Structure 1
Amino acid sequence: MSKLAVSITNAKNNTDLCTLGFVVANASVASGVETVVFLNSEGAYLAEQGYADDIHEEGFAPIKQLIDSFVEAGGTIWVCSPCFKKRGLDDGKLIEGAKIVGGATLVEFLANGAACITY
């Protein structure tokens, strides 16, 4: 099975890029590719419940809908642990399907043949 990691480094600081990341992730998982979204840097904010509720880039579905569709389709969301902690986010408020991981988890996924794209 093919594997793809979509690294999302943006949130409200660049709603176009975080939206595009989830659009590509949805297309990937819908195509039968094992797909992981890695939320890091500013993208870590997307992992906290309620944060993404008002992000809606014109011409695309709202980001919350894109995130929910991704998880429902079997996609995996990993959140960079140091990025999450640096921003003072609450791990009790993680969105459904998100898991806080260290960089080694992503490195192992990539080392096992996954391609990576960053938004």
Structure 2
Amino acid sequence: MSARTTRLGALLIALLLSIPASALATPDRHVFYNLTSDEAWRAGMALGHATRALEAGYAVTVFLNVRGVYLAQQGFATDRAGGAPDDLRGQLVGLIDAGAEVMLCGMCLRKAGLEMADMLPGTVKVDCARSLAAMSAEDTVVISY
């Protein structure tokens, strides 16, 4: 192998290693986060992971269901979030602002006694058919918290 071929190979490897992860992720890859809890540690992990996925170039959906719907409630109670509601709310708003879809389980909202007027702007109330379609779409990875 010639010195020129070796240099070209090394240059190609260096170029490939310098490509950020966001350039390798394709927008048609989708990560669906199923978040069933309003507990701070669990919710913080899910929202933090969703933020990293969005930054890496993935399409992201956060599905708040069961007690997770409380996370999107305006005026979310401090004791439910383990003392960190602003951090969780900030993460959720940041995800919405960055282009993530935040779905709320309609049945769970009813069970919790909440209405869309109670929820953060940018969230979307969905039925079972819509959430199932999103989580079972091709090229979708589902992560549950």
TM-score range normalised by the length of the shorter chain:
0.7 to 0.9
8 Å CA contact 1:52, 1:64 repeated in 2: no
User: What corresponds to 1:15 in structure 2?
Assistant: 40
Structure 1: gaps spanning 5 or more residues: none
8 Å CA contact 1:7, 1:117 repeated in 2: yes
TM-score, with normalisation over the residues of structure 1? 0.87
Structure exhibiting the larger radius of gyration computed from Cα positions: 2
* Structure with bigger RCO (C-alpha 8 Å, 6+ apart): 1
User: What corresponds to 2:64 in structure 1?
Assistant: 39
Residue 116 (structure 1) aligned with residue 142 (structure 2): yes
- The list of structure 1 runs, each at least 4 consecutive aligned residues, that deviate by more than 4 angstroms after superposition, is none
What amino acid is the match of 1:29?
L
What amino acid is the match of 1:89?
L
Structure 2: gaps spanning 5 or more residues: 1-27
The number of residue pairs the alignment matches comes to 114
Aligned equivalents of 1:52 and 1:24: distance in 2?
A: 23
8 Å CA contact 2:66, 2:108 repeated in 1: yes
From the two aligned structures, give the one with the greater helix fraction.
2
TM-score, with normalisation over the residues of structure 2? 0.72
Aligned equivalents of 1:98 and 1:52: distance in 2?
A: 18
Aligned equivalents of 2:142 and 2:114: distance in 1?
A: 25
Percent sequence identity over aligned pairs: 24
Note the C-alpha offset of 1:52.
6.1
Note the C-alpha offset of 1:15.
1.3
CA RMSD of aligned residues (A): 1.8
